[in-house]
Chains A and B, each alone.
Chain A
Amino acid sequence: EAQVTQNPRYLITVTGKKLTVTCSQNMNHEYMSWYRQDPGLGLRQIYYSMNVEVTDKGDVPEGYKVSRKEKRNFPLILESPSPNQTSLYFCASSLSFRGTTNTGELFFGEGSRLTVL
């Protein structure tokens, strides 16, 4: 089954304790990205990756790191989490969007709810 898998789905942690949220897709997609969702603010892009070893900042990258060493994985790293990073996080992936050959549809994971105390 084609899917984007995030782990953990739920996590409560403390300020300063490094954590990684993993994201894996099985669709051979080149493009992957991370979003956070907060009440009243909608979905905001954190980082994205156009392909292996190619990453770039989205709108809210501060306090996050990413890496793309393999095509299927795109982990989100919080080196020193703070309470303002308490949020619902989504990973998404798609083929490189070319209007004549594919829809460019984004496939989203089920979300990871992170609480930083």
Chain B
Amino acid sequence: DAKTTQPPSMDCAEGRAANLPCNHSTISGNEYVYWYRQIHSQGPQYIIHGLKNNETNEMASLIITEDRKSSTLILPHATLRDTAVYYCIVRVEFGGGTSYGKLTFGQGTILTVHP
């Protein structure tokens, strides 16, 4: 069973904020939310992660709801180069359970940024 669900595709205008949702309603207390993106057929690239607090780095912001059942990745000023597949996954900390090594990426969200 998928641990996360994402919309299959989204569009965004260049220069506007892209808000990508992810549902992880069965997330455990020691599971972190991660976001990766994949441009064309390159290897996925890490974007950001968080446990329960909102996080921001030079690439994006991550908003996690208080109940932790969903999150939103925000690209504040999307560019054409942000067109990619975005994956939301959950990962438990090492020693946090037998599911540590097993990661499920799913199909992700295809974000298309248009001029």
For chain A, what secondary structure do more than half of its interface residues adopt (helix, strand, loop), or is it mixed?
strand
**With A and B bound together, what is the CA distance between A44 and B1 in angstroms?**
12
Q: How many A-B contacts at CB < 8 Å in the complex?
A: 75
Q: Which residues of A contact B49 (CB under 8 A)?
A: 103-105
> In B96-112, which residues have CB < 8 Å from any A CB?
100-108
Q: Which residues of B contact A42 (CB under 8 A)?
A: 87, 105-108
For chain B, what secondary structure do more than half of its interface residues adopt (helix, strand, loop), or is it mixed?
loop
> In B1-58, which residues have CB < 8 Å from any A CB?
32, 34, 36, 41-46, 49, 51
Contact check, B44 vs A43: say whether CB atoms are below 8 A apart.
yes
A-B residue pairs, 3 tightest by C-beta: A108-B43, A42-B107, A43-B105
Q: List 24 A-B contacts (CB under 8 A).
A: A4-B43, A33-B103, A40-B107, A42-B107, A42-B108, A43-B87, A43-B105, A45-B102, A48-B103, A58-B103, A59-B104, A88-B41, A90-B43, A90-B44, A92-B44, A97-B32, A98-B95, A99-B51, A105-B46, A106-B36, A109-B43, A111-B41, A111-B43, A113-B41
